[in-house]
Amino acid sequence: ISSISEFLLLALADTRQLQLLHFWLLLGIYLAALLGNGLISTAVACHHRLHSPMDFFLLNLALLDLGCISTTLPKAMVNILHETRDISYAGCAAQVFFFLFLFSAEYCILTIMSYDRYVAICKPLHYGTLMDSRACATMAAAAWATGALFALLHTANTFSQPLCQGNAVDQFFCEIPQILKLSCSELDYLWEIGFIIVSVLAILGCFIFIVVSYVQIFRAVLRMPSEQGRHKAFSTCLPHLAVVSLFVTTDFLAYLKPSSISSTSLDLVVSFLYSVVPPTLNPLIYSMRNQELKDAVRKMMSWTNISRGRLLICLNK
């Protein structure tokens, strides 16, 4: 049984000036992610016109993104401010569990969203039957449950291993590949590596499903008589596919790259790309072509400005 009571996370910089620069950078990214995903969540939950299946899945995606980025960045920022690197053993295990839970559930939601677009464009006559409210709720529940099971198995297997290679984790958050480097049980290490490979193959299967769905969508779009309709469909689908590709590619690099090309700086960049960039960009990517969602956000912000103006008037009186 490991006697480690805490882990030491990677220091992002050596000098105090660079540390503070990283803090403000992370804080800006975190606030942008909170604002974007918070606006989408509030708009979909409060606006009566945003009740389509895609809006429902956007709500789930925004909530997952909020949780995912809140699992990693706040602790990193607190450590920078306090000039420390430590995270407790229980805190590290909780960070691994919640990050894997939200991360894998988000990938399942992205897969479901590609299926939603496929049915909407390629099988429009069956859309109401295949994507009714009960089917959407079942698929969303399955995505969250899959994420929870995936995270529970990985976290339990990783933290049941004896750790005897120190307590320094070369990452800005607790990440399984970095924790496995501390293991002193070769059998347990190989068992977890095998489990990671199986999990990555499942992710690859989902990615192939997403790509095939979009190929079918593009084939249907090319048969559209309207050039404007084709442009709208391509401009909507291509950014989605780009985000998913970044998500999967960096995930594969983080968990399957050979040790010969591994370095602290490369590991840091790759982890930042798959853990921080997608939750920040998703609100922009998935809402920029959704006119109803943009209108709802504008209306909500105008209500906020009006309420603020009335409050100021009352205070002046």
Count of domains observed in the chain: 1
Contact between residue 44 and residue 58 where contact means Cβ atoms under 8 Å apart: yes
Whole domain around residue 275: which residue ranges? 7-315
Specify the pLDDT at position 1: 45
Contacts of residues 269-272 at CB distance under 8 Å and 24 or more positions apart, as own/partner, are 271/171, 271/172, 271/173, 271/175, 272/172
Q: Given its phi and psi angles, is residue 83 left (phi above 0), alpha (psi -120 to 50 degrees) or beta?
A: left
Is residue 207 in some structural domain? yes
Question: Percent of the chain at pLDDT above 90?
Answer: 28
Percentage helix, strand, coil for the chain under 3-state DSSP, each rounded to 5: 80, 5, 15
Is residue 2 in some structural domain? no
- Element holding 24 (H helix, E strand): helix 16-46
Q: What is the mean pLDDT of the chain?
A: 83
Q: What is the mean pLDDT of residues 217-237?
A: 74
Specify the pLDDT at position 39: 86
How far apart CA 75 and CA 77 sit, in angstroms, is 5
Is residue 100 in some structural domain? yes
pLDDT in tens, 249-304: 887 777 777 766 777 788 888 888 888 988 998 888 877 666 666 676 677 666 55
Is residue 272 in some structural domain? yes
Is residue 288 in some structural domain? yes
DSSP assignment, residue 173?
S
Q: Which residues of 226-248 are buried (b: 16+ CB within 10 A; e: fewer)?
A: eeeeeeebeebbebbbebbeebb
How crowded is the C-beta side of 263, counted as CA atoms within 13 Å? 4
Q: What is the mean pLDDT of residues 172-196?
A: 80
DSSP per-residue string spanning 214-244: HHHHHHHHHT-S-HHHHHHHHHHHHHHHHHH
Of 213, 228, 282, which Cα lies nearest the Cα of 57?
Answer: 282
pTM for the full predicted model: 0.86
Q: What angle do CA 280, 59, 129 make, to 5 degrees?
A: 135
Check which CATH number belongs to the domain holding 144 and give it: 1.20.1070.10
Is residue 1 in some structural domain? no
More confident residue, 46 or 212: 212
